[in-house]
Chain A
Amino acid sequence: GESVGLHLPTLSVQEGDNSIINCAYSNSASDYFIWYKQESGKGPQFIIDIRSNMDKRQGQRVTVLLNKTVKHLSLQIAATQPGDSAVYFCAENIVGGSYIPTFGRGTSLIVHP
């Protein structure tokens, strides 16, 4: 079936660098996306979302970019800190459809001091 996938299972960066986490989705009907952060031993936590009528959305130190043409989503973290070390999941939904999200595989971000 259709699914959301991630290109890199593990990403290692140095503290202070910018991080980019990628997500490819295959369901062209998906029009709402959420990035979640899951720290070790905790449940996923909402970071930022984006709807398909936008191609960019910014939060505090995070930016999500959406390229509908190639069905690609990315999460950019500026000035990465050790506290950003976690697994990041993208999730997709269809607005007006099922409220059940489809989760991607996850990328582990490791930030080295």
Chain B
Amino acid sequence: SQQGEEDPQALSIQEGENATMNCSYKTSINNLQWYRQNSGRGLVHLILIRSNEREKHSGRLRVTLDTSKKSSSLLITASRAADTASYFCATGTSYDKVIFGPGTSLSVIP
């Protein structure tokens, strides 16, 4: 079953703008991961944030985690056309399973 919910479901921005996607979940987690998927292909792991971390950076990506609100956000700065993809948050629990949210479809217009 899926426990993550993402919003927005779809986002369209101009190249160079920042894109923010949010993820909410329902139960306790060990970590939260963000993945990218281009056109129904395999998933690319972007970043993992542990439950005791509040913020993490990787290149143009910034992820925050608020365990009190059971939510996370992914910020992509200075977006590029190549960032066009679906983005999924996935929560990791103590049973090594990773449960995916419904995803956000991002379109970056050149």
Say whether A associates with B.
Answer: no
Interface residues of A (CB under 8 A from B): none
